[in-house]
Amino acid sequence: MPAARLEDRAVLAIAGPETRGFLQGLITNDVERLKPGEGIYAALLTPQGKILFDFLLSEGDGAVLLDCAAACRDALARRLSMYRLRAKVTIEPREGLSVVAAWDEGALPGSFADPRLPGLGRRGVMATAEVPAHFAGSAVYHSHRMALGVPESSDFGSDRMFALDADLDELNAVDFTKGCYVGQELTARMKHRATSRKRLLPFDAAMPVEAGTTVRAGDKDIGEITAMHDGRGFALIRLDRLDEAGSAPVNAGSSPLILIKPSWLFA
């Protein structure tokens, strides 16, 4: 069973009698769907609908646990604290906990099915001291994730991309029937008016390409590179322009690209 400890992830604990109501008014998914043994994927947006942070939520250790990018943990805690006002909640890091993932076969004790995509396997939070020594590191997990074409915060950044452009709706991070949350109005409008014509697509490239490089199909600008990792990356692509370009070769700078539309992406 491939399994990994994700050293580039961290855990924030939200606790207190008003935890669920507090989160429900902020994040893109329905916190009421959170149950023992299950997790949800969600994001915190700007009022204009752009992604600030994405994270997985689960119950444990007497709190709702947010599994987030370690590099963003403190900024996420500050942002949540800004919204706390008089809500009876505490927001604190859990230094002794680690995020783990396992896929293909077998189970991970105390874990839940990754809510984004079945191929991602299972996800969990456990005491760092109890993580088995044979678990691989983050690189093995990210290689698997990239093979499935699933983006994370390192691929769409913070305050750069709308939730639907980053495929969060297709990855079960957005509930369109719940009540209001930060950025809900624009997100709902883009969904119901079908105004989101951009999508984050994975690509393969024979040579390194820098983020921000324009992607062209023939003589048309169709998007730009957002991230690249060891030959595979993500580009924000205008799907209508890609269709118009037909079979024209795609490139970024001097590097040919192979754009990939994952089977789970129905846009």
Please report the pLDDT score of residue 61 as a whole number: 81
Please report the pLDDT score of residue 109 as a whole number: 82
What would the two tokens of residue 72 be?
Answer: 């963003």
Q: Does the structure show a pLDDT above 90 at 191?
A: no
User: Tokens 């984050």 identify what position?
Assistant: 200
Q: Taking residues 52-59, what's their average pLDDT?
A: 98
Mean confidence (pLDDT) of the chain:
94
Q: Taking residues 184-201, what's their average pLDDT?
A: 86
d(CA 121, CA 135): 15
- How does pLDDT run across 71-86, given as a tens digit for each residue? 999 999 999 999 998 8
Question: Are residues 101 and 6 in contact, defined by beta-carbon separation less than 8 angstroms?
Answer: yes
Please report the pLDDT score of residue 159 as a whole number: 97
Please report the pLDDT score of residue 70 as a whole number: 98
Q: What are the sequence ranges of the domains in the chain?
A: 3-156, 197-259
- How does pLDDT run across 92-136, given as a tens digit for each residue? 999 999 999 999 766 788 899 999 999 999 999 999 999 999 999
Please report the pLDDT score of residue 1 as a whole number: 64
Please report the pLDDT score of residue 214 as a whole number: 97
User: Tokens 């604990």 identify what position?
Assistant: 13
Size of the chain, expressed as the number of residues it contains: 267
> pTM (2 decimals)?
0.94
Please report the pLDDT score of residue 195 as a whole number: 59
- How does pLDDT run across 3-40, given as a tens digit for each residue? 999 999 999 999 999 999 999 999 999 999 999 999 99
Burial 61-92 (b: 16+ CB within 10 A, else e): eebbbbbbbeebbeebbebbeeebeebebebe
> Is CATH 2.20.130.10 the classification given to domain 3-156?
no
Q: Does the structure show a pLDDT above 70 at 267?
A: no
- Which one-letter amino acid corresponds to residue 21? G
- How does pLDDT run across 168-186, given as a tens digit for each residue? 999 999 999 998 999 999 9
Pairing of strands 232-238, 51-60: unpaired
In whole angstroms, how far apart are CA 151 and each of 32, 86, 176, 226?
A: 25, 35, 21, 10
Q: Taking residues 198-206, what's their average pLDDT?
A: 94
Question: Are residues 164 and 187 in contact, defined by beta-carbon separation less than 8 angstroms?
Answer: yes
**193 contact partners, CB below 8 Å, separation of at least 6:** none
Please report the pLDDT score of residue 196 as a whole number: 60
- How does pLDDT run across 214-257, given as a tens digit for each residue? 999 999 999 999 999 888 999 999 999 999 999 999 999 999 99
Burial 232-242 (b: 16+ CB within 10 A, else e): bbbbbbbbebb
Helix (H) or strand (E) holding 186: helix 184-192
**92 contact partners, CB below 8 Å, separation of at least 6:** 12, 13, 15, 77
User: Tokens 């994270």 identify what position?
Assistant: 55
**In this structure, CATH architecture of domain 197-259:** Beta Barrel (2.40)
Q: Which is more confidently placed, 267 or 104?
A: 104
Torsion of CA 110, 113, 119, 121, to 10 degrees: 0
